[in-house]
Structure 1
């Protein structure tokens, strides 16, 4: 039986229409994640399912004849990857309950999956809290992890019975006393985030010198200090930062207890990176074992860890410009895509990412995934998978076997809208061809804009390479 697309949510959702590619033959359910924990064929099968969805979609679009917008960039999301990451988390950090940072990617299917799996949620605004509550999440599973809150949002939070929240200054305590005196407050402390991809300590976190003053004021105001929070920065690479932060948190716990508080929760924040997750988990586990008794509840705020590798973005080449070096006579090309840094490539600016283009389809080679679109679902796992970056022996006779140099640009009229200043490929890419970009699930569509009149709503097609995820979501 061939894959079929069915509507899972209303197509007017704020992040664009969604589709589910319903798969019968999913990878068998297991408790493993990436790297050495992934069965050898798991990544291959997931790639094939993504490739099948990509090829099926672009085959249905003819840029030369389609209606305006039908050839827009689109995502394929493997919900099975999010599921594997959750199982990987449970295996390596069994004591730590993840509260997914939805600012990273507020995708409705991701939220539903994680909610059903028992995760909590890190929210920073009324809209984020509202989105989580609407899918049936209990307020006790939400932490309002915004040290400096808008008053009207805080009033809304209090009405919704969301009690857990962070703070790092005296003014915030007075605000909480006025609007939400029953709050469970987590004092966010300053950390060393110098080795992180995105630093946060220059904006949030109380210095250790100021924590005593804050604790004493909270006592004077008869507020509840329920715990301590920290964040070592998004995309952290220095595991020692976690150790120092846990040590400092224990010091604050002890001083809070001395004042008569009964703190019960430590929030270790985010910063978890998939590539170094096991190493980070080992270090964090040892720090927690050394400094936090088993009676203390531990939560975290992972974001990119869950979604980065689960989303693949496909873009259409809408224009091409030839550039010739007058001295050497060599030609290069400027490719213009229908998505750019003001859209789903906002991660280039805001998240310091460097997306790598790969060829999905050209007029000379329709299928760079080498996936047979006429094959049945049953034969899907036997399909081959290659990409432009892996196909090192391919050459284009029109250039004598030499790699072609491209620069890749977005569709807006702003010169900053550059996706890649230089990219080399052995294949000729022309107008109407398709490129794809992997690892596009973190800080991409959530920060897309409508600059220059281009859409910020891009279709997401879902596949599931895990039977567990399919069962949870009813795929």
Structure 2
């Protein structure tokens, strides 16, 4: 992107819901440490954690998706990170959204997103939530059981449906989903017939290969399974399906390139003759994970021989719950504003094996027992990159440490392109 394009995006984002009126700082892609240090110094005695959100990186991830998968419309999975500034940016960029509850639908629509840009992508919904979706015109959802057909028939009979199918063993993925969702192959025909008998319009197939896995070729197997469902509807004399939703499971790394290849191969092999087919996806991690960095203050220190132990202002019951719930491996960089102000990155310091604890009174609140860090002091900081996926979204208020209150500071890094 050239400077004019970047300037246009910044202007657009500055007017975005959730962002309007907030400062966006332009920095060089290598200037993040200096930017964070300036924030810390400006806060003086403040020591609470904060996120920094890189809108420049987000723009580049959007461009890469559009370049590599131009035929697939992404519906951002709100559950991954419902940060209001992030959602506002996505809304301003014209994104559609995957919502799993009434609250998520309300949040997205409050940002000015129209109902036709929302899929209610939860295969099992409370009936009150289905009624709400009907009342605001959210007219696309997923199902994988007879009971869901009955609820939708009662509460939202005008809603179009995607049948969610189970397509593979995803037990090796960080977040497997098939044990909870997806119709088995021997259930599909009866579910389609039930929807047909209820006079509900099943317009396509949905699947999810699982989140955080490496077997991206699973997309090929899943697309092949979806084609069998398309063929089954024809055999049953139902209207021809027109939507294929390939779900999520995307990561912003080299696995994305392999996934793109597998998806294109699967579509070419099984759906090349399907005219007018609409392709959807539900990425969350791909867009959110790398755009957020978490800054945490060191509030306690203990030395036991060569071991260093530190307490910081966020932990396992907060943003770091991703270690437990998402099987994430988090890393950190020291910012020694107190112990080493001349060299804030501590790059030349001697390293010590270190344990890092969260702020709560529970010993389970241990982030790592094997970091190698310089000899830091209370009021120094640790920066955790790649903290945008299933972090603040699933944190708690245990011991009075409120994850949802962690503020977000906006910046726009000058990144010319994203290459995995």
**TM-score relative to the length of structure 1:** 0.80
1:446 deviates by: 1.0
Secondary structure of 1:235 counterpart: coil
Q: Which residue, out of 271, 275, 282, partners 2:261? A: 282
In 2, the alpha carbon distance for the partners of 1:333 and 1:98 equals: 45
Q: Which residue, out of 106, 114, 131, partners 2:90? A: 114
1:18 deviates by: 9.6
In the other structure, the counterpart of 1:181 is: 157
In 1, the alpha carbon distance for the partners of 2:364 and 2:296 equals: 18
1:362 deviates by: 4.0
Find the structure with the greater CA-based Rg.
Answer: 1
Number of matched pairs: 398
RMSD: 2.3
Closer/same/farther in 2, CA of residues 452 and 84 from structure 1, 3 Å limit: same
Q: Which runs of 4+ in 1 moved over 4 A?
A: 16-19
Tell me if the contact between 2:208 and 2:247 (Cα under 8 Å) persists in the aligned partners: yes
Tell me if the contact between 1:18 and 1:459 (Cα under 8 Å) persists in the aligned partners: no
Closer/same/farther in 2, CA of residues 116 and 367 from structure 1, 3 Å limit: farther
1:344 deviates by: 1.2
Please say if 1:433 is aligned against 2:410. no
In the other structure, the counterpart of 2:367 is: 419
Closer/same/farther in 2, CA of residues 18 and 358 from structure 1, 3 Å limit: farther
In 2, the alpha carbon distance for the partners of 1:368 and 1:257 equals: 68
In 2, the alpha carbon distance for the partners of 1:442 and 1:367 equals: 33
Secondary structure of 1:439 counterpart: coil
Write the deviation string for residues 289-337 of structure 1: whole angstroms up to 9, x where unpaired: 111224210000000100111111111100011223xxxxxx2121000
Structure 1: gaps (5+ residues): 1-7, 27-44, 325-330, 370-386, 397-402, 469-475
Closer/same/farther in 2, CA of residues 254 and 158 from structure 1, 3 Å limit: same
In 2, the alpha carbon distance for the partners of 1:115 and 1:368 equals: 40
1:17 deviates by: 13
In 2, the alpha carbon distance for the partners of 1:318 and 1:226 equals: 55
In the other structure, the counterpart of 2:223 is: 246
Tell me if the contact between 1:77 and 1:312 (Cα under 8 Å) persists in the aligned partners: yes
1:195 deviates by: 3.5
Closer/same/farther in 2, CA of residues 255 and 148 from structure 1, 3 Å limit: same
Secondary structure of 1:280 counterpart: helix
Write the deviation string for residues 215-265 of structure 1: whole angstroms up to 9, x where unpaired: 011111111101100000011311221111101101101111333223110
Please say if 1:365 is aligned against 2:319. no
In the other structure, the counterpart of 1:47 is: 30
Tell me if the contact between 2:353 and 2:370 (Cα under 8 Å) persists in the aligned partners: yes
Q: How does 1:134-149 map to 2 (within 5 A)?
A: 134-149=110-125
Q: How does 1:179-258 map to 2 (within 5 A)?
A: 179-192=155-168, 193-258=170-235
Tell me if the contact between 2:245 and 2:279 (Cα under 8 Å) persists in the aligned partners: yes
Write the deviation string for residues 195-229 of structure 1: whole angstroms up to 9, x where unpaired: 32210001000011100000011111111101100
Q: Which residue, out of 49, 70, 77, partners 1:73? A: 49
Q: Which residue, out of 314, 326, 331, partners 1:339? A: 314
1:361 deviates by: 2.1
Please say if 1:267 is aligned against 2:245. yes
1:19 deviates by: 4.7
Write the deviation string for residues 348-390 of structure 1: whole angstroms up to 9, x where unpaired: 1111112112101242322656xxxxxxxxxxxxxxxxx55xx
1:175 deviates by: 0.5
Closer/same/farther in 2, CA of residues 118 and 21 from structure 1, 3 Å limit: closer
Closer/same/farther in 2, CA of residues 17 and 417 from structure 1, 3 Å limit: farther
In the other structure, the counterpart of 2:282 is: 301
Q: RCO (CA 8 Å, sep 6+): is it higher in 1 or 2? A: 1
Closer/same/farther in 2, CA of residues 436 and 368 from structure 1, 3 Å limit: farther
Secondary structure of 1:340 counterpart: coil
In the other structure, the counterpart of 1:58 is: 40
Secondary structure of 1:274 counterpart: coil
Closer/same/farther in 2, CA of residues 368 and 100 from structure 1, 3 Å limit: farther
Secondary structure of 2:174 counterpart: strand
Secondary structure of 1:137 counterpart: coil
Tell me if the contact between 1:21 and 1:53 (Cα under 8 Å) persists in the aligned partners: no
Q: How does 1:144-155 map to 2 (within 5 A)?
A: 144-155=120-131
In 2, the alpha carbon distance for the partners of 1:200 and 1:152 equals: 24
Closer/same/farther in 2, CA of residues 466 and 176 from structure 1, 3 Å limit: farther
